[in-house]
Amino acid sequence: MFQPTFQITPAIAKTLMEVEACRQTVARLPLTVAMLNSLRQTARLLSTHYSTQIEGNRLSPSQVEQVLAGGGKFPGRERDETEVRNYYRAVEFVESLVDDTQPLTDCLVRTIHGLVMSGKKKPTTYRDGQNVIRDSGSGRIIYLPPEAHDVPPLMADLVAWIAREIQSQELPVPLIAGLAHYQFATIHPYYDGNGRTARLLTTLILHRGGYGLRGIYSLEEYYAQNLPGYYDALSVGKSHNYHLGRATADVTGFLAYFCHGLADSFSKVLSQAERAGRKQALDQAPQLRSLTPQQRTVLSLFVKTKTVSSGDVAEFFEMTTRSAAALCKRWLEENFLVVANPSKKARRYQLAEEYDSLIEKSVK
């Protein structure tokens, strides 16, 4: 059973307070729909660039943006282009899960990995053999993960631990996310894509736990710019072997690194959001704060069109039509949507007046 060994040191406690202060301040900032969409898109692009860069992707931020816009073609870097598209799809999928009441499952984690590796929302299978991590220069063994037959039970145990900790609320959400990141990377359940999937899993836990910061931060940027520290923080214990101490090692050092990165990312977002807020006199914060993250996200769909069908919502969030229909029904009950066309076969919805006014003002 996963029972991580760590201490909440004074430094970690101080960093957690900094994170909380930034979170509360950003939540109160007057941001329009247009600003939120712009900041959120910037964060997605940065997350995609830096998370793939860590794994050796050679595309620059501007090239990543071109690829995702559909116009970027870079001869000899087709693999990099595919990797960027796949990761971006995975980022969007994780964002669509934020308001999902369905608990985190092993299948969901494998689906995130499937998107990272193939761009398809299809659960992958864990590695069927050993995956020795070696130094690229000397060839020496850096890390020997658990054997393949141990991976499924270890992953099931990790997912169960995350669910228990979130339910009990005994640990701060950032610590749950950091420990989950560490353990996933330590189990190393795949031959490839472990780091990217671990970072996305971290993002999902933070967002669901109320630390999504409106979807406008990129923790991956901190990792990429502090890469030696990232790898050093992950390398704990007296042995490179999972079964010879790595599994029970004290991970306080990694938590300190992780929390510092979170505070650094949140601080940057706060500065960026404050600058954006000063450029806009319009204060839409009261209405926006009343919405769920999923409702705030779907506002960008209404920027493009006045009315939508449940099918449009299904396509937007990459969910089933039945789930989208249930979501629209709930939003009707919450007075977020109103029926624009009552026809059963061609039913369409539009935003309730108070939220429709947000769209009208944000596009002027």
Per-residue tokens: 347: 């039913």
Average predicted confidence (pLDDT) for the chain? 87
Looking at residues 192-208, what average pLDDT do you find? Answer: 94
- Residue-wise pLDDT for 101-139, tens only, equals 788 999 999 999 999 999 999 999 999 999 888 876 777
Q: How confident is the model at residue 363 (pLDDT cuts 50, 70, 90)?
A: very low
Q: pLDDT value at position 298?
A: 87
| 270-277 long-range Cβ contacts below 8 angstroms, 24+ apart | 270/22, 270/25, 270/26, 272/39, 272/216, 273/26, 273/29, 273/31, 273/35, 273/39, 273/216, 274/29, 276/31, 276/35, 276/38, 276/39, 277/29, 277/30, 277/31, 277/35
Residue 6 predicted with pLDDT over 90: yes
Looking at residues 7-23, what average pLDDT do you find? Answer: 94
Q: To the nearest 10°, the Cα dihedral for 55, 182, 41, 54? A: -20
Query: How many other CB atoms are found less than 10 A from the CB of residue 225?
Result: 13
Q: pLDDT value at position 341?
A: 87
Among the four given CATH numbers 3.30.300.30, 1.10.3290.10, 3.40.50.720, 1.10.287.130, the one describing domain 13-25+32-276: 1.10.3290.10
Residue 344 predicted with pLDDT over 90: no
What is the pTM assigned to this prediction? 0.78
More confident residue, 144 or 149: 149
**Given the DSSP bridges, would you call strands 348-351 and 337-341 parallel, antiparallel or unpaired?**
antiparallel
* C-alpha to C-alpha distance for 245 and 296, rounded to whole angstroms: 45
- Residue-wise pLDDT for 30-49, tens only, equals 677 777 788 888 899 999 99
Chain-centre distance of CA 129, in angstroms?
28
The domain ranges of the chain are 13-25+32-276, 290-362
Instruction: Match 């995350």 to its residue by tokens.
Output: 162
Residue 338 predicted with pLDDT over 80: yes
More confident residue, 60 or 361: 60
Q: How confident is the model at residue 252 (pLDDT cuts 50, 70, 90)?
A: very high
Q: pLDDT value at position 279?
A: 58
Cβ distance 103 to 162 under 8 Å?
A: no
* C-alpha to C-alpha distance for 150 and 248, rounded to whole angstroms: 16
- Residue-wise pLDDT for 256-315, tens only, equals 999 999 999 999 888 877 776 665 544 556 677 778 878 888 888 888 788 999 999 998
- Residue-wise pLDDT for 41-85, tens only, equals 889 999 999 999 999 999 999 999 999 988 778 888 999 999 999
Angle between helices 194-206 and 33-54 (to 10 degrees): 150
Would you say domain 290-362 falls under CATH 3.20.20.140?
A: no
Q: pLDDT value at position 179?
A: 96
Cβ distance 258 to 181 under 8 Å?
A: yes
* C-alpha to C-alpha distance for 340 and 342, rounded to whole angstroms: 6
Q: How confident is the model at residue 230 (pLDDT cuts 50, 70, 90)?
A: confident
